[in-house]
Amino acid sequence: MRATTLGGSGVRVTELSFGAAGIGNLFRPVSDEAASAAVEAAWDAGVCTFDTAPHYGLGLSERRLGAALRGRDRDTYTVSTKVGRLLDPNPEGGRGDDLAHGFAVPDTHRRVWDFSSDGVLRSLEASLHRLGLDRVDFALLHDPDHHAEQALTEAYPALERLRGEGVVKAIGIGVNQCALPTRFLRETDIDVVLLAGRYTLLEQEGLAEVLPEAAARGRSVIVGGVFNSGLLTDPKPGSTYDYAPTPPHVLDRALRMKAVTERHGVPLRAAALRLPFGHPAVASVLSGARSAEEVRDTVDQLGRTVPAAVWDGLRAEGLLPPARPRPCCDAGRRNQSAEEGVDESWK
């Protein structure tokens, strides 16, 4: 699988990244065996970039990911985790569940927002313990929406120091909004933005500032949430959109998109996966999976050719803005401006 680097950091990422929230029991339980098989399937497909966070299943995602990667050459894969939420033991933990936060796990711990310098150090130390690794390759500020000033003045400088000391190779921010990452791109020296749900077939907000700003400054964007939490895999009544019931007008738009792509023999989810690669700032698309079957389907869909007629058809019906960058139709290819730093030989 093709790989490229994050900004000027030298950190390599495959064009498809494995999002490990699903193996942290996002919404429903996943067995240890299924979680391990999902990571194994990703590895077998050439996916060498894995993203996790303490938030995902109260540490379960990190523990499972670390276990699945154990024994592999540490220099052959890239791992990212996040800071901003510390996990403290819940005095009444284990009696209930964590479904209020989206994870089907016992509530053995509680999340404590902490974007202080000490909080960053404590978070990374705990993550390394759960992962069973001696390092992560890049660390992201996780959802600092309501803690922007502390994240900028305390957490970011701590990450910058860790990068300078070689503890991590790259740093960035992971959010599902556009204003804050744009500010970080302008005011700090981050290497990467993980932008979830804001550059998809249904959402184009990232095109206004985040993606152009990243490209202009030589930084990278990893695009997550390309299915808008499920709707674009198979739009139908009852589908979720941004982790909530889909409004009727959004469902109608998704169904119209599906009709256009399928007229050209292309599944909607294949177009959703391919779309971000039309922009030169995009280094990777991150997709979550909770089973080997889901991983293999995602890899297959990303490998499909999406002809130019699909993008033209979506524009003609007013489903995509005219100025949106069009991905190259050949599977696995990028716009020429994004070719620099691409390494097709990794793994």
Q: For residue range 215-229, what is the model confidence (pLDDT) as tens digits? A: 999 999 999 999 998
Kindly provide the b/e burial profile for residues 265-289, where b requires at least 16 CB atoms within 10 angstroms of the residue's own CB. Answer: ebbbbbbbbbbbbbbbbbbbbbbbb
Q: Are 229 and 27 in contact (CB under 8 A)?
A: no
pLDDT score recorded for residue 291: 97
Higher-confidence residue of 271 and 93: namely 271
Average pLDDT, the chain: 93
pLDDT for residue 323 is more than 90: no
How far, in Å, are 72, 73, 94, 228, 260 from residue 195 at the CA level? Answer: 29, 29, 33, 12, 26
pLDDT for residue 112 is more than 90: yes
Catalytic residues: 56
Residue range 162-211, pLDDT digits in tens: 999 999 999 999 999 999 999 999 999 999 999 999 999 999 999 999 99
pLDDT for residue 337 is more than 80: no
Name the pLDDT band for 243 (thresholds 50, 70, 90): confident
pLDDT for residue 346 is more than 50: no
- Global pTM reads 0.93
Q: Which of 192-206, 262-276, 310-324 has the lowest mean pLDDT?
A: 310-324
Q: How many whole angstroms separate alpha carbon 252 and alpha carbon 223?
A: 24
Average pLDDT for 301-314: 95
pLDDT score recorded for residue 328: 64
Kindly provide the b/e burial profile for residues 174-213, where b requires at least 16 CB atoms within 10 angstroms of the residue's own CB. Answer: bbbbbebbbebbeebebbbbbbbbbbbbbbbbbbebbbbb
pLDDT score recorded for residue 93: 80
Q: How many whole angstroms separate alpha carbon 167 and alpha carbon 160?
A: 10
Higher-confidence residue of 343 and 146: namely 146
Torsion of CA 221, 224, 226, 231, to 10 degrees: -160
Average pLDDT for 230-237: 94
Sign of CA dihedral 212, 216, 218, 219: negative
pLDDT for residue 97 is more than 50: yes
Average pLDDT for 300-313: 96
Q: How many whole angstroms separate alpha carbon 139 and alpha carbon 62?
A: 13
pLDDT for residue 338 is more than 50: no
